[in-house]
Structure 1
Amino acid sequence: MAFLVLVAPLGVFADGTGVAAKPLRPFPMDDVGLAQPLPVPLEDALRASPPRVSALYVRRGGELAWQDRDKVAALVDLLHALDDEGLTPADYRPARLEREAGDALDASVDEAARARFDVLASDTLLRALTHLQRGRLDPGEVYPGWEIPVPPPELDLMAITRALKAGEVQRVLAMARPATDGYDALRRSLARYRNIVRLGGWPLLPVRDTALRPGDVDADVALLRRRLAAIGELEVMAADVAHYPDVALEAPAPHHYDAELVEAVRRFQRRHMLDDDGIVGPRTRAALNVPAAQRLATIRANLERARWLSGTLPDHRVTVDVPGQWLRYRRPDGETWRTRIIVGQPGRPTPVLHSSITHLTLNPTWTVPPTILREDILPQLRRDPGYLAAHEMVALTPQGQRLDPWRIDWWRPGAVMLRQRAGPANPLGQLVLRFPNDHLVYLHDTPSRQLFRRPQRALSSGCIRVEGVIELARMLFEDTGTSRDLMDLIAGGETRNVSLARPVPLALHYWTARVEQGSLPSFRPDIYDRDDPLIAALDRPVVR
């Protein structure tokens, strides 16, 4: 029995064309009844098409897929449904398909024209499915320096073929959609916020000299109720006595900032990384007044990020959400441990990458990174070289030889390294979790633990400070079978590296909108201004 190996695209360019190829599973020719070459009109129509389109017709044994007007109409409906995924249906030109179907499926049209239309429809379908599964944009073009490879699309051509034969075009869409809870939750939020926008958005709270506080009676409280009810906090909405006289006594007073409304505001504040004090001051009011259309665009941006990562998520044990400023460790037994973190400030971003935690440094010294040396410490040294001694630092050559700080021209220091000894004042604290990367970043302890109490913690120079990092290290020792006593090693005071018995996969991601545990979406600050370029690229028409 002869076998045929097909190729499918490995990733996509911004316009949806293939960028590489990988072999698909061989299958017997008899499975598709392919005993003869494809019909000549179809072969001619396929010459300029991506390999994935040819593969589809080989799987179909050369049979055309779109010679029924009802199927074409279903495909057009499918393309319009991409709006529900945060994609732009017009990018796939459904109107052109409808127009050309009217001509190509006429009984008087020759086989070549029918084949050309059929290939156009199949190419449109597979391009749309690839975009749905792995993203429409090339992340490297939106974010220079993007390091996470977009996995190749996993489109089951045999299943697609069977669904097309059965006329189940909508089922094809479900086959390609990223199968993650996070993606589905964002899709539901997209529908909610799109409806809010259609209805005209939500009321804006006026600027005022005083904050709204629990217990206040104020006309603005009624606006606050309407604003929160618009996103689903329906229990705070006061009833209209004229329409609902029987429930007037049970409904909240519209202008009274009562306990139930306070709790709704506190939930809103937590979802937006604000102090959850229930007081509507300038920052809370600003978050409430972000237009619904802007929130909708943020959800679309994060749906695209989810598509880029849809084939990479399950294996990561340690996940860092940079804008959300938390870390989650998924243990082998299914338990999840979560903690607060401090991430890079604007201008010194924490990168987005995938790696693995390989070892720990206990009682670490701190070699000052180039950016901190240049921007933070050199200005201090130019005023007073005694800064080093006051901070338990030494100046070293690249070979590790100690230098006299009073003999260095700190305006032109050359290749000088600064190192701070281990101890209570060391900014890395008692231990560092290290993972290979080109950014010299790591997870580490900190002596400034009071900073974890802040709701927004983009304060570092790119590395990630972890609250409870010693507990995280202890779990990593236990879960990887690393047979060392962590606390005894730390208590010894010696600076030393300890390798984990097995590497632990790590992901650093950037989500400015997330939905957790079936709740309303949480919107985080776009610390590094990455949403606007992504949204602009999604809105830019595809030129074909």
Structure 2
Amino acid sequence: MKILRHILILPFIFFAILSTDGESVTSWIRKKVEHLAARQTLNDTVHLFCSPTLQKQYHEHFYAPFWSSDVRIDELMSLIRHCDVDGLQPMDYHLRILDSLARKTGNENAATRDILLTDAFILLSSHLLNGKIDPQTITPCWNISPVDDRITRFLIELPYVRVGDFYRSIIPQSHLYEGLRLQLKRYREIEKQGGWKTIPSGKILRPGNDDSRVALIRKRLLSTGEYDGPEPEQPNFYDDQLSEAVILFQRNHGLEALGTIGPQTLAEMNTPASERIRQIEVNMERIRWLPESFPDYYILINIPDYMLFVYDHHIPVGEHKVIVGRTYRKTPIFHSTLQYLVFNPTWTIPPNILKYDILPEAQKDSGYLAQRNIQVFESDGTKLKPEEVNFASADAPGYTYRQLPGDQNALGVVKFVFPNPYNVFLHDTPSKRLFNRVRRTFSSGCIRVERPIELAQYLLMEQPEWTSRKIDKTIESRKTQVVRFNRKPEVFLVYLTAWENDDGQLQFRDDIYSRDEPIYKELKSSPDESN
């Protein structure tokens, strides 16, 4: 590999030795790059964002210019000018000063331009690969961090590879990203054409109603594609064709899809195109944080969508509604691997739930714990009688509180465990009626899953001893049993408030944890140090 690398850079060394201009540019590059070891600015004025990587690459390249081809320079400049198609800002990548240098002559200016082009290339490529924002600074719970070395390898191979080909190889290849890229273009065009008019509030509209707002609603849905019918003879009449379009709109926005138009549906319809563009850009950034490709077998949980999907051989094979954490007990974002399930689990009550939920109730009612089948233990395992415990004392939080299996157990009849630092897992729940709600933020951080036995049956499908009958009998026994999976899906907890589904329908969801705005603000700020 080292021999190949030196062969690749021989043209630059040859160029530097035989050409007076080339040699002079190389000399200027050496001076300017070596100066970066003391200061992170070029010519004491221009801040460089990728200085350590840049210094290393020029040193290994014997300070020869990387961008000696006008064709490659034009390709990179075009990529920078049009990076807004990926929701990024061209001015983040030295565009203004690069444009001014293009009109200047002289070897020092050529050296400055080469260094700035390299810095811009490394920074933009890094942003396209891994995101502009460090996810830890925006969402501290996100632990997915892709890493790639193709950026520096491309610089070595630059004389032989087109910049456009490299760009196409590093942008996320998932349908999620490509879908949002196309939708970003479409919504920018909608905004350019003036967006849509605000629909006034008023009484709830139902199919069969006659109202002047109906014509506005039809035009609103025509602009984003939910309605594609002709202009009716009675534009103010809420007919069946419009009802179908409204139901589609409601589904695409995570609303109760009944065709009735009330305040929530109007609020979504009146959200301006500019705000939807922001939402798309934010979620393109989130997708850049995800792995470049998903494994063959995995579970995807999208928190704002309140849904869990099982993928096998990259094909969706199951979907389940979920309940996620309250706004003050947020479900974290992370990646893990499902290891085992527990039938008839006990529940050891976490400290925060104990402090804020259990102990206050136990102080009011001495029989509260017994009614819910909760036992109390000292640190050495000695079992205590709840009626003998002073739950208002300083010792009370130090005991272990464990709920036994049964109808009232908060984890239901099964839980699914995947290692993570947050003590979060999937589980059943006795409060199944909550799955009928549209907004499902009711948990303390863990994820409650609808139809958990069905999920367990699929996950145990390749362990033939675990028949449906055996699962039922195990649950009926009320004895705790751990079952390890032979085939273990990876688990991804993500937070997407905009994406395109498999039918090509753009989906929007409420930003339930108020995470979009900080990301958008950072996206529009000047870039931080990226390495």
Point out the more displaced range, 340-349 or 471-480. 471-480
Q: In 2 relative to 1, CA 155–282 (structure 1 residues): closer, same or farther, beyond 3 Å?
A: same
Aligned to 2:41: none
Q: How does 1:76-475 map to 2 (within 5 A)?
A: 76-103=77-104, 106=105, 109-110=106-107, 112-148=108-144, 150-155=145-150, 168-208=162-202, 210-236=203-229, 238=231, 251=232, 253-311=234-292, 313-314=294-295, 317-332=298-313, 334=315, 336-412=317-393, 413-475=396-458
Point out the more displaced range, 484-493 or 189-198. 484-493
Aligned to 1:13: none
Count of aligned pairs: 501
CA distance in 1, matches of 2:75, 2:182: 23
Task: Determine which structure has greater relative contact order: mean sequence separation of CA pairs < 8 Å that are 6+ residues apart, divided by chain length.
Answer: 2
Point out the more displaced range, 408-417 or 476-485. 476-485
Aligned to 2:476: 491
Kept after mapping to 1: 8 A contact 2:296/2:311? no
Could you tell me which amino acid in structure 1 is paired with residue 184 of structure 2?
A: L
**How large is the Cα RMSD of the aligned pairs?**
2.8
Aligned to 2:45: none
Partner SS, residue 304 of structure 2: coil
Kept after mapping to 2: 8 A contact 1:225/1:261? yes
Point out the more displaced range, 488-497 or 185-194. 488-497
**1:528 paired to 2:528:** no
Partner SS, residue 128 of structure 1: helix
CA distance in 2, matches of 1:303, 1:64: 33
- Note the C-alpha offset of 1:334: 4.3
Segments of structure 1 that go 5 or more residues without pairing to the other structure are 5-25, 239-250
Kept after mapping to 2: 8 A contact 1:395/1:404? yes
Give CA-to-partner distance per residue, 1:108-150, whole Å, 9 cap, x none: x13x4422321211221221111111101111111234322x1
Could you tell me which amino acid in structure 1 is paired with residue 147 of structure 2?
A: P
Segments of structure 2 that go 5 or more residues without pairing to the other structure are 17-25, 37-49
TM-score of the aligned structures, taking structure 2 as reference length: 0.86
Point out the more displaced range, 263-272 or 68-77. 68-77
Q: In 2 relative to 1, CA 480–203 (structure 1 residues): closer, same or farther, beyond 3 Å?
A: farther
- Note the C-alpha offset of 1:328: 1.1
Kept after mapping to 2: 8 A contact 1:339/1:468? yes
- Note the C-alpha offset of 1:488: 3.9
CA distance in 2, matches of 1:437, 1:299: 29
- Note the C-alpha offset of 1:457: 1.4
CA distance in 2, matches of 1:386, 1:233: 55
- Note the C-alpha offset of 1:74: 4.0
Could you tell me which amino acid in structure 2 is paired with residue 214 of structure 1?
A: P
Kept after mapping to 2: 8 A contact 1:396/1:418? yes
- Note the C-alpha offset of 1:450: 2.5
Kept after mapping to 2: 8 A contact 1:345/1:459? yes
Point out the more displaced range, 343-352 or 373-382. 373-382
Give CA-to-partner distance per residue, 1:414-461, whole Å, 9 cap, x none: 312322221122121111111111222111112222222222212111
CA distance in 1, matches of 2:245, 2:307: 23
Point out the more displaced range, 339-348 or 492-501. 492-501
Q: Percent identity between the aligned chains?
A: 33
Give CA-to-partner distance per residue, 1:30-55, whole Å, 9 cap, x none: 35437969844443344336465467
- Note the C-alpha offset of 1:230: 1.7
Kept after mapping to 1: 8 A contact 2:427/2:449? yes
- Note the C-alpha offset of 1:406: 2.6
**1:33 paired to 2:10:** yes
- Note the C-alpha offset of 1:377: 2.1
CA distance in 1, matches of 2:92, 2:465: 52
Could you tell me which amino acid in structure 1 is paired with residue 488 of structure 2?
A: P
CA distance in 1, matches of 2:314, 2:121: 41
Kept after mapping to 2: 8 A contact 1:315/1:505? no
Partner SS, residue 144 of structure 1: coil
